[in-house]
């Protein structure tokens, strides 16, 4: 209680989960997690999304206490937990391969984490029934895991993670083995439970739709680093680098060089000589190589919607696909045969035939000049 108020410190006090400059190496040579910094407020639902081998599970394992950080500090509720064993961290866990105990009934599976925590019999029974109720499995208390479907087992695993009312729950691809419909149902149930119970959740997946629909924020991992940490809409609309632009959602890219730059607009000369307008995101100087990125639904074919001085590009229609709610048209643009545009299926929307030449353009703010 000495000293003056420290604003930087106040911010840290509100953080519930913190990774500070965390590094991890399994072999003493290669860092599979490199300088990870992450701060989560209580109650947040955060998803770690990234390709295989990018370090997601390793981060979860360090937070759970099954692996130790090679460097840096992990804090929970403002306190370092590097030296606290897993069962004392009060963390609930659901893993794809973290199976239920096969020889125990559902009720016994749920009882286990409570017994470990020395909770008395009557209180245990009450908590077990409440947890089963949360996942709508009250009628299955006496069954063994083998007598349940995959989705039901996953629900029980979720109930077991929640039964001791943890403040933090970690989930590593908990729905990976389930079919699409069941996955969507459980995605909804998990987010509802997490929000209703005020649980802080770290969720790992490599399914981007799952990440975008479930999370308050998404940390996109690649190569042991967080490439971008942002709410879903910002991640999709404002990717900060080429990796994120490519990894999240469908994306068109064109390669070129920055030929003019002023404030938040730049001009890019594409490799075939054509000129386009973009927003400089990852580029700062004239002459720099860049990969411009534009979402298929932001490409404009209607010149009236563009500013009069906007640059347009010639495009040839290669393929037109009717998809019900939208039309998906593949174009050849500046030598790229995989340039896709999406248009809404409206009564006045033309259906383009292959071979047609059209002009396309965009608002500069919808086209992002990123690292090459
Ligand atoms: N116990 C271990 N010993 C040695 N290397 C490991 C160990 N666990 C993971 N690794 C390596 O660390 C890197 C990160 O692995 P991690 O399991 O964290 O990736 P991930 O992002 O969870 O991938 P996935 O999506 O495939 O589950 C990989 O290169 C992996 O081979
Ligand atoms: Mg993993």
What digits encode the pLDDT tens for the residues 288-341? 999 999 999 999 887 777 777 778 899 999 999 999 999 999 999 998 999 999
Q: Using CA positions, which residue lies closest to atom 1 of ligand 1?
A: 26
- Output the pLDDT for position 304: 78
Q: Using CA positions, which residue lies closest to atom 5 of ligand 1?
A: 26
Q: Are β-strands 336-344 and 275-280 bridged in parallel, bridged antiparallel, or unpaired?
A: unpaired
Q: What percent of the chain has pLDDT over 90?
A: 73
- Output the pLDDT for position 331: 96
Distance in Å, CA 145 to ligand 2 centroid = 24
Distance in Å, CA 48 to ligand 2 centroid = 10
Name the nearest CA neighbour of 87 among 113, 60, 120. Answer: 113
In the chain, domain spans? 7-237, 250-371
The answer to whether 142 and 178 have CB atoms below 8 angstroms apart is no
* pLDDT > 70? residue 7: no
Q: Using CA positions, which residue lies closest to atom 6 of ligand 1?
A: 26
- Output the pLDDT for position 311: 81
Instruction: Pick the atom of ligand 1 nearest to 51's CA.
Output: 25
Q: Using CA positions, which residue lies closest to atom 16 of ligand 1?
A: 55
Q: Using CA positions, which residue lies closest to atom 18 of ligand 1?
A: 55
From 32, 33, 227, mutation site for ligand 1 pocket: most ligand atoms within 8 A of C-beta: 32
What digits encode the pLDDT tens for the residues 113-124? 999 889 999 999
- Output the pLDDT for position 3: 41
**pTM (2 d.p.):** 0.87
Pocket of ligand 1 (CB under 6 A): 26, 32, 50, 52-58, 206
Confidence of residue 84 (pLDDT cuts 50, 70, 90): confident
Task: Identify the CATH number of the domain defined by range 7-237.
Answer: 3.40.50.300
Distance in Å, CA 370 to ligand 2 centroid = 28
Task: Identify the CATH number of the domain defined by range 250-371.
Answer: 2.40.50.100
* pLDDT > 60? residue 14: yes
What digits encode the pLDDT tens for the residues 154-212? 889 989 998 988 999 999 998 887 788 888 888 998 999 899 889 999 999 989 999 99
What digits encode the pLDDT tens for the residues 231-260? 999 999 999 999 999 999 999 999 999 999
From 22, 49, 57, mutation site for ligand 1 pocket: most ligand atoms within 8 A of C-beta: 57
- Output the pLDDT for position 13: 52
What digits encode the pLDDT tens for the residues 226-235? 999 999 999 9
- Output the pLDDT for position 8: 43
Confidence of residue 96 (pLDDT cuts 50, 70, 90): confident
* pLDDT > 70? residue 98: no
* pLDDT > 70? residue 10: no
SS (H, E, C) the chain: CCCCCCHHHHHHHHEEEEEEEEEEECCCCCEEEEEEEEEEECCCEEEEECCCCCCHHHHHHHHHCCCCCCEEEEEECCEECCCCCHHHCCEEEEECCCCCCCCCCHHHHHHHHHHHCCCCHHHHHHHHHHHHHHCCCHHHCCCCHHHCCHHHHHHHHHHHHHCCCCCEEEEECCCCCCCHHHHHHHHHHHHHHHHHHCCEEEEEECCHHHHHHHCCEEEEEECCEEEEEECHHHHHHCCCCHHHHHHCCCCEEEEEEEEEEECCEEEEEECCCCEEEEEECCCCCCCCEEEEEECHHHCECCHHHCCCCCCCEEEEEEEEEECCCEEEEEEEECCEEEEEEEEECCCCCCCCCCCCEEEEECCHHHEEEECC
Q: Using CA positions, which residue lies closest to atom 24 of ligand 1?
A: 52
What digits encode the pLDDT tens for the residues 36-54? 999 999 999 999 999 999 9
């Amino acid at each position: 209680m000495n000293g003056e108020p420290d604003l930087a410190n106040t911010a840290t006090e509100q953080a519930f989960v913190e990774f500070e400059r965390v590094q991890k190496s399994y072999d003493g040579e290669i860092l599979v997690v490199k300088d990870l910094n992450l701060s989560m407020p209580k109650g947040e639902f955060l998803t770690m999304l990234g390709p295989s081998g990018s370090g997601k599970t390793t981060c979860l394992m360090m937070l759970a206490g099954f692996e130790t950080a090679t460097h840096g500090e992990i804090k929970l509720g403002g306190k370092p937990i590097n030296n606290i064993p897993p069962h004392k961290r009060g963390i609930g866990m659901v893993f794809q391969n973290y199976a239920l105990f096969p020889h125990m009934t559902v009720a016994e599976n749920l009882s286990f984490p409570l017994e470990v925590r020395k909770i008395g019999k009557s209180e245990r029974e009450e908590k077990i029934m409440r947890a089963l109720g949360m996942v709508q499995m009250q009628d299955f208390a006496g069954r063994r895991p083998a007598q349940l479907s995959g989705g039901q087992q996953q629900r029980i695993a979720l109930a077991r993670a929640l039964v001791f009312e943890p403040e933090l729950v970690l989930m590593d691809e908990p729905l990976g083995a389930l079919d699409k419909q069941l996955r969507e149902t459980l995605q909804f149930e998990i987010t509802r439970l997490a929000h209703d119970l005020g649980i802080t959740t770290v969720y790992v997946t490599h399914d981007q739709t799952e990440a975008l629909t479930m999370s308050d924020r998404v940390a996109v991992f690649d190569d042991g680093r967080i490439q971008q940490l942002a709410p879903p809409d910002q991640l999709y609309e404002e990717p900060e680098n080429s990796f994120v632009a490519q990894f999240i959602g469908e994306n068109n890219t064109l390669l070129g060089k920055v030929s003019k730059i002023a404030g938040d607009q730049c001009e890019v000369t594409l490799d075939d000589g054509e000129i386009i307008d973009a927003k400089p995101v990852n580029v700062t100087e004239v002459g720099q190589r860049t990969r411009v990125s534009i979402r298929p639904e932001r490409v404009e074919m209607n010149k009236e919607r563009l500013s009069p001085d906007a640059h347009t590009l010639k495009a040839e229609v290669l393929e037109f696909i009717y998809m019900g709610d939208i039309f998906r048209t593949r174009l050849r643009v500046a030598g790229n045969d995989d340039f896709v545009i999406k248009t809404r299926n409206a009564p006045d929307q033309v259906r383009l035939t292959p071979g047609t030449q059209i002009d396309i353009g965009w608002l500069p703010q919808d086209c992002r000049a990123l690292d090459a």
